[in-house]
């Protein structure tokens, strides 16, 4: 009985695989590399409590500020901050499970706030070629983590596609990045249906250029739609 109820509450991965793997390959904190306890997933308790959660609209880049846009971000991100190495790992170390765990952590941080969840969760898409090379879209797995906590929000991968494969944004200046987002995305107009509130999921807001491109495109078709942005970090 106890065993069955344990399995109902947690997946097989949580009950068996994680503790077993942990025994042979101890996990390390993504921020400070200290060995984690089995009940910790990606951050040690010290780094987790050190994250500066932000739900502050003022943190959005000016051109994203609008009454119909809400921001939920797990933390601030700045050079030398605890979040820096772990966000680097998220982007470049091919850690799909870690993305899912980050999504869970973000969603759990929202649980004690009375937030209205959107009808759809839409991860910012990668270009198919880039997704193929990376093996997955990190924003999709963040969204899957959020959805595990808020199952009423539908994960929709069919609404927006990336039609241009822009190069890594990190080496471009701000003006060039803002210019480059034009015509990068396309809406799949027949699959949207009637929806009044969507959630866009991305890993980090730096200039906000990518989100700006997507939001302008969505608003051009659905001017009254409400948008909630879920990200792991906003640069300070």
> Closest distance between Zn ion and the C-beta of residue 95, in Å?
16
Nearer to Zn ion, 47 or 205 (CB): 47
Strand partners, 200: 122, 229
Q: How far apart are CA 71 and CA 55, in angstroms?
A: 6
Q: What's the residue count for the chain?
A: 236
Give me the least distance between CB of 27 and Zn ion, in Å please.
11
Instruction: Name the burial class of residue 83, with classes exposed (0-12), middle (13-18) and buried (19+) by CB atoms within 10 angstroms of its CB.
Output: buried
Would you give the binding string for Zn ion spanning residues 30-69, x where CB under 5 A is met? -xx-----------x--x----------------------
The answer for residues whose C-beta is within 8 angstroms of residue 207's C-beta and 6 or more apart is: 61, 169, 174, 177, 178
Nearer to Zn ion by Cβ, of 50 and 61: the residue is 50
Rounded to whole angstroms, the maximal C-alpha distance in the chain is: 61
- Distance CA(26)–CA(18), nearest Å, equals 10
Q: Which residues pair with 154 in a beta bridge?
A: 120
In the complex, minimum distance from the CB of residue 138 to Zn ion, in angstroms, rounded to a whole number:
21
Kindly state the DSSP code that residue 90 receives in the 8-state scheme.
Answer: H
x/- mask, Zn ion, residues 8-37, rule CB under 5 A, reads: ---------------------x-xx-----
Shortest separation between residue 217's beta carbon and Zn ion, angstroms: 39
Total residues binding Zn ion (CB under 5 A) = 5
Q: Is 110 in the site for Zn ion (CB under 5 A)?
A: no
Residue 61 zone, left/alpha/beta (φ > 0; ψ -120 to 50; rest): beta
| Minimum CB distance to Zn ion, residue 77 (Å) | 16
Q: Which of 72, 76, 40, 77 is closest to 57 using CA atoms?
A: 72
Site for Zn ion in 196-235 (CB under 5 A): none
Closest distance between Zn ion and the C-beta of residue 97, in Å?
A: 18
Give whichever of 39 and 170 is closer to Zn ion, judged by the CB atom. Answer: 39
Q: How far apart are CA 104 and CA 150, in angstroms?
A: 10
Task: Output the smallest distance, CB 29 to Zn ion, in A.
Answer: 3
- Residue 61 or residue 85: which is nearer to Zn ion going by CB? 85
Q: Which is nearer to Zn ion, 32 or 89 (CB)?
A: 32
**CB of 31 or CB of 124, closer to Zn ion:** 31
- For Zn ion, which is the closer residue by CB, 97 or 158? 97
Q: Cα(211)–Cα(64) distance, rounded to whole angstroms?
A: 8
Q: Give the residues lining the site for Zn ion (CB under 5 A).
A: 29, 31-32, 44, 47
């Amino acid at each position: 009985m106890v065993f069955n109820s344990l399995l109902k509450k947690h997946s097989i991965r949580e009950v068996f695989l994680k503790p077993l793997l942990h025994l042979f390959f101890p996990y390390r904190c993504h921020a400070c590399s200290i060995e984690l306890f089995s009940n910790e997933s990606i951050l040690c308790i010290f780094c987790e409590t050190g994250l500066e959660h932000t739900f502050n609209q003022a943190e959005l880049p000016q051109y994203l500020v609008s009454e119909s846009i809400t921001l939920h971000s797990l933390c601030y991100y700045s050079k030398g901050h605890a979040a820096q190495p772990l966000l680097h790992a998220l982007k470049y170390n091919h850690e799909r499970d870690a993305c899912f765990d980050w999504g869970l952590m973000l969603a759990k941080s929202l649980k004690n706030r009375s937030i209205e969840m959107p009808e759809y969760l839409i991860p910012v898409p990668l270009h198919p070629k880039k997704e193929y090379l990376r093996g997955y879209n990190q924003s999709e797995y963040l969204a899957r983590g959020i959805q595990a906590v808020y199952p009423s929000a539908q994960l929709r991968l069919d609404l927006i596609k990336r039609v241009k494969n822009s190069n890594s944004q990190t080496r471009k200046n701000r003006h060039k990045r803002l210019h480059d987002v034009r015509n990068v995305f396309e809406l799949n107009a027949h699959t949207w249906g009637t929806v009044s509130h969507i959630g866009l999921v991305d890993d980090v807001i730096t200039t906000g250029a990518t989100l700006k491109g997507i939001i302008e495109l969505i608003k051009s078709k659905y001017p009254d739609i409400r948008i909630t942005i879920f990200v792991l970090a906003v640069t300070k």
